[in-house]
Structures are given as C-alpha cells and as structure tokens.
Amino acid sequence: MGYIKVLAFLALVALAKGQKNAVSHYYGEHNTSVIRNDDYVDAHRRQYAGNIWFYDFQINQFKEAYLERVNSLEYQKDALLYELVRVDEHLYPITLLSDFSKSCVQKYQPLIPQMSWAKSEVDRCISAASAQANNLISAMSSTNRTLQSHYATAFEREINTCKNKFNVTTSNYTMCVANAVAISNTYTLNNQNQFSNQMQAAKNSADVLVKTEQECTFGIYNTTLSRISEANTRIDGCLNGMDDCTNCKGHYCEETYLWPASHINPNNATMNNPWYGRNVTTGCLMLNIF
C-alpha cells in the first residue's frame, strides 16, 4: 500500500516537472492562458501535498519500525518467564521428597525472583523505550508542520498577490507565479535538508535507546538467572547437609565430612580420622552426623 503510494508520488513529481517545462516554454509569447497558469499552480500544489504526504509516510514508517524493534524484546520476556516456570517445575518435586528437602527448598526459594517481578521489570524497560517514540519524531513532525504551513499560507499568499497585481492573461502574471513557485521550491529544498538531518539524528537516537533497552532487559535477565543459580546451589548444599546447623549462622564450610552416627564411639581412641587424607590447611571442616 505504502509502496504504491510512493510510486504515485514519484509520478506526480514527474508530472509537476513536465508542467514546469511547459510553462517556461510559453514565457514571453504573450499567449499564456489562465487555464495553463492554473494547471501549473495546481500541479505544484499536488507536488507540495505529495511532499507533505511523503514526510508523513517517512515519519510514520520510522516510528513503526522503532516500536517494532522496541517490542521485539517481548520475546525475551517470555523466555525469561519460561525459565522461572522451569525452575518451579524442578523444585516442586523436591519439596515432596521429605520434610527436610521441603525445608531446604523453602529456605532458598525466596532468592528466586517472582514471575510478576521479572515481568514488570522487563515491561518497565520496554515502556521506557516506547515512551520515547514521540520525542524521536517531534523535530521531524515540527518540520512537517512548518512546510505544510508554508504551503498553506506563504505560497498561497504569493499566488493571490500575483492575481491581485497582474491581469491573469499577461506574462507578468506568469512570471509572478513562476517566481512564487521558485521561492517555495527553494524553501522546500532547505526544509527537506533539515528533515533528512533530523531523520538521521532520530535514527542515531533510536539506536542508543534500543541499546539502553537491551541493557535494561539484560540486567533483569542476569539478575534473575544469577539468583536462580545461587538458589539452586544453596538448595543443593542444603540437601547435602551443608547448612544443617542452627547455631552457626554466618559460618559455612566448603568441606563437609559425612559421618554416620553409628560409627561414632566416644570410647574408641582409634576411631576414623575425618582429617585423614585431607588438606589440613583449609579453615573449616563441617561434620555432618546422620
């Protein structure tokens, strides 16, 4: 649809150019008709409308493309929420094994972010970026307005001045109109240069905003996955009896010695040695008596 419109617009520009040649051809012959002058002005009005249409088209295309990039991170959110579902599915059966395993899971599961948290944080990253869409196009929209207003007021005023000043059947009128068109065309060219500079700047800003958005969602991703990993590690440690200790809060030994209670005999001077074969320089050894 948009593509067809662009072609139509280009055809219109070609038509307007043809009209201009036709008019210059009639200069000085004192044979320019009112009809031809009106056609000439109308052709330019159509071209001007086409310029505005093309601005509108480019601005909307740009905004749509930006929002599409911004919203593409929705898929990352889904992937992240899926990770959290998977963790739940992994931990739930462990809670069923025993009261002990259940207590280990309950102790460390709160480290894992809630789905609602992950969702709202990622949504925050996305909406921060999408909220910038109107700021990105504001300079271009203003340039669009300025040009439209030039066509609607300055250009039309010039044409009316020509009509009031000269008999429309004279070449003076034709010259006057041609001059008004030339002034508007110069104005258009400058305005278009300004517009393309603004478009370039908007594209650069969009890249920065999307990058910021990606870093924002990556932060949520990283935090979530790090916490899942930490919770898993701690739950595993707990299940292996590593923190089966109520009075030693703040103490945690990497090394654990599993010692069946049945093997302990306070009257046996030659009982098993937990340090046997171990690097005695480690700071701490935990005895897990079961």
Ligand X SMILES: *[C@@H]1O[C@H](CO)[C@@H](O)[C@H](O)[C@H]1NC(C)=O
Note whether 101 binds ligand X by CB under 6 A: no
Note whether 31 binds ligand X by CB under 6 A: yes
**Nearest approach, Cβ of residue 58 and ligand X (Å):** 9
Do residues 53 and 9 lie in contact, with contact meaning Cβ atoms separated by under 8 Å?
A: yes
Do residues 34 and 174 lie in contact, with contact meaning Cβ atoms separated by under 8 Å?
A: no
Note whether 273 binds ligand X by CB under 6 A: no
Q: In terms of CB distance, is 8 or 271 closer to ligand X?
A: 271
The residues near 252 (Cβ < 8 Å, ≥ 6 apart) are 242, 243
Q: In terms of CB distance, is 31 or 246 closer to ligand X?
A: 31
Note whether 164 binds ligand X by CB under 6 A: no
Q: In terms of CB distance, is 4 or 280 closer to ligand X?
A: 280
The pair of three-digit structure tokens given for residue 97, joined into one six-digit string:
């094994």
Q: How far is residue 290's CA from residue 286's CA, in Å, rounded to a whole number? A: 12
Note whether 279 binds ligand X by CB under 6 A: yes
Q: Stretches 17-25, 198-206, 215-223, 236-244: which one binds ligand X (CB under 6 A)?
A: 215-223
Helices 74-97 and 115-130 sit at what angle, rounded to 10 degrees? 170
Do residues 140 and 228 lie in contact, with contact meaning Cβ atoms separated by under 8 Å?
A: no
- Torsion sign across C-alpha atoms 193, 199, 204, 208: positive
Size of the site for ligand X (CB under 6 A): 25
Q: How far is residue 159's CA from residue 173's CA, in Å, rounded to a whole number? A: 9
List the one residue out of 284, 216, 266 whose CA is nearest residue 76: 216
Note whether 232 binds ligand X by CB under 6 A: no
**Nearest approach, Cβ of residue 247 and ligand X (Å):** 28
Q: Stretches 11-19, 49-57, 67-75, 109-117: which one binds ligand X (CB under 6 A)?
A: 49-57
DSSP element (H, E) containing 288: strand 285-289
**Nearest approach, Cβ of residue 215 and ligand X (Å):** 9
Query: Residues interacting with ligand X, by CB under 6 A?
Result: 31, 52, 55-56, 59-60, 141, 144-145, 148, 166-167, 169, 172, 219, 222-223, 226, 265, 268, 270-272, 279, 281
